[in-house]
Amino acid sequence: MKNILEAPFLREMCEATSNMYRLVWDERNGGNISYMLDEAEVAQYLDLKNVLREIPTGFEAKPLAGRIFLVTGTGKYFKNVQNDPETNLGIIRIKEDGSTAQLLWGYKDGGKFTSELPAHMMSHMARLKQDPQNRVIMHSHPTYTLAMTYVHELSDKAFTHSLWEMCTECIVVFPDGIGVLPWMLCGTNEIGAATAKKMEEFRLVVWSMHGIYGAGKTMDEAFGLIETVERRRRYTCSPRTCRARTRSPMKRWCSLPNTSA
Ligand SMILES: [Zn+2]
């Protein structure tokens, strides 16, 4: 059996979480990632018959039964993943009942998967229907994207078009556009279902006053989608532009130190 700490999928997860923390997208325990793994590849590192624990998920995801995911842990900080992946990450397999996660590795301190697992698993189901190659769902709180949700019209069309108009690269990178949800309570099945509904059409879904979800075939693709939106939003959020658009929350934000673009 190979050393799982050297597995490419684990290295990718460590690199992604470290990068996102350094970009100041994921403060404290903010952000979460789920990565659907290839069973044959995981079998090179783990005995797939050895289930460490069974954890109820609180929702039904039968289409994912038997699928294996590497998932960030609840309450865990992205900044700590690289130094201690076995505590901050877990590898789970969805049981035949669709509502139980079998822990195969990780969450060493007795922890469990992110509280946003419903949004992740429901989004995986939605994206796999559109693209059987989809593997990654990524959630983050990128600064400028989040700030824009306080001042921008919150509709799929308006949010998408203002990005497309800024830079033709955006049309190339996400021709499917961006879905936008209104403020909803996070960590619930309701926001999970609403996110998945948007994921039927879009690989990017903004959670107003909270953050963004990205989906992709690879970690790079999901990360790159969010990175492209955030970079363009950063230009839009220059203090001058923001003042022109200002409503009160953005006015306060623009007056903070270190926010000049
Ligand atoms: Zn969040």
d(C-alpha 243, C-alpha 60), whole Å: 45
Residue 181 alpha carbon to ligand 1 centre in Å:
13
Residue 24 alpha carbon to ligand 1 centre in Å:
13
Residue 105 alpha carbon to ligand 1 centre in Å:
24
Residue 253 alpha carbon to ligand 1 centre in Å:
19
d(C-alpha 179, C-alpha 207), whole Å: 9
Structural contact between residues 43 and 105, judged by C-beta atoms closer than 8 angstroms? no
Query: Active-site residue numbers?
Result: 116
Q: Which residues are within 8 A (CB) of 124 and not within 5 positions of it... i.e. 6 or more apart?
A: 34, 36, 64, 67, 69, 134, 137
Cβ < 5 A residues, ion ligand 1: 211
**Coil, strand or helix at 34:** strand
- Helices and strands (DSSP H and E) totals, the chain: 12, 9
Q: What pLDDT score does 259 carry?
A: 38
Structural contact between residues 54 and 115, judged by C-beta atoms closer than 8 angstroms? no
Domain positions in the chain: 1-115, 116-261
Q: What pLDDT score does 235 carry?
A: 74
Q: 161: part of which helix (H) or strand (E)? A: helix 156-166
Q: What pLDDT score does 254 carry?
A: 41
Give residue for tokens 């995911």: 69
- Chunked mean pLDDT (size 10), the chain, 261 residues: 97 97 93 98 98 96 98 97 98 98 98 96 97 98 93 93 88 95 93 96 97 97 96 72 49 43 33
d(C-alpha 85, C-alpha 90), whole Å: 8
Give residue for tokens 């697992």: 117
The fold of 1-115 is L-fuculose-1-phosphate Aldolase (3.40.225)
The β-bridge partners of 211 are 207
Q: What pLDDT score does 249 carry?
A: 43
Q: Which CATH class is domain 116-261?
A: alpha beta
Residue 44 alpha carbon to ligand 1 centre in Å:
33
pTM of this structure: 0.89
